[in-house]
Amino acid sequence: MELIFLNVCSELLLLYCKHHHLINIRFRDDSMRYSKKKKKRKRKMPMWKSDRMLVEIAVAATILFAFLATRMKQCSVRINFLFIIIVSSSLYLHSLRLGVNLSNLPVLFYKRIFDGTDQRYYLLSFYVICVLATLIFCIIVNHLSHSSTVHRKFFHFTVSLICITGIQYDFEFIWLSAWLTLCIFVIIEVFRSKSVPPWSKYLNDWLLIFIDKQDSPKLILTPIYLMAGIFLPLFLSPIANNGM
């Protein structure tokens, strides 16, 4: 009887251990699956959300840079260091908001620009053609040593082409590009108007020839007004939560 009782107890103990072990395995599998799903959910941030976060940081950084640069009257060289500090801080803040390492941002920006689709490559090729045409036109006008209203309208034409094709084929990308380009134009004018070396000399050579009676050599706002005016419908219609 004792042997039978011991055998029964051992069998029950084995069954209990096996059952408990299976429960632990299932619990671990479920927890691992849940953690993997949670990680995947964290990684998959909507494109419109990351674009909006980048634009918010870029606009705030541009306003801060323009405000602080205009207050620096003694040494304009320090504006270069101010620019580096603000850009570095903005990139670090953007990486924190995205939840990625700072070293991974170049890869994310590259994938945002080159998404692997034929439509994006065709669109970028068209943009490159427009930019090259604008640069060649600037070189020609610089050799002429004077500009007219017809010359200035060429910029309206190329920017309008970029805006129309972007709205037609890739609204999200042109929305992001328009905001960042406007910030770049503001930064360029700050460098030029504050005579920040070595940029101011080259910027004056390229921009002063296109000014008219509406602008002064101290402050050229026409390119900024042009960008803001053409892309104003995009700025007033930001990307919503559904990605449109």
Q: Do residues 226 and 159 lie in contact, with contact meaning Cβ atoms separated by under 8 Å? A: yes
Q: What is the pLDDT of residue 62?
A: 95
Residue whose C-alpha is closest to residue 206's, from 127, 130, 128, 140? 140
Least confident piece of the model among 103-107, 110-114, 140-144, 148-152: 148-152
| Residue 24 pLDDT exceeds 60 | no
Candidate ranges 6-10, 17-21, 121-125, 215-219; pick with highest mean pLDDT: 121-125
Confirm whether 188 is domain-assigned.
yes
Q: What is the pLDDT of residue 206?
A: 73
Average pLDDT, the chain: 79
For the stretch 91-106, pLDDT in tens is 999 999 988 999 999 9
3-class SS of residue 78: helix
Q: Which domain holds residue 196?
A: 45-236
Residue 26 backbone dihedrals phi, psi, to 5 degrees: -65, -40
| Residue 123 pLDDT exceeds 60 | yes
CA distance 218 to 224: 15
Confirm whether 219 is domain-assigned.
yes
For the stretch 30-81, pLDDT in tens is 555 655 555 545 556 777 788 889 999 999 999 999 999 988 876 777 899 9
- What is the count of structural domains for the chain? 1
Confirm whether 83 is domain-assigned.
yes
Confirm whether 31 is domain-assigned.
no
Confirm whether 181 is domain-assigned.
yes
Residue whose C-alpha is closest to residue 192's, from 98, 69, 74? 69
Confirm whether 25 is domain-assigned.
no
Q: In the predicted model, what is the mean pLDDT of residues 136-151?
A: 73
Residue whose C-alpha is closest to residue 134's, from 206, 201, 190, 192? 206
Confirm whether 4 is domain-assigned.
no
Q: Do residues 99 and 42 lie in contact, with contact meaning Cβ atoms separated by under 8 Å? A: yes
Residue whose C-alpha is closest to residue 79's, from 181, 183, 207, 197? 197
Confirm whether 156 is domain-assigned.
yes
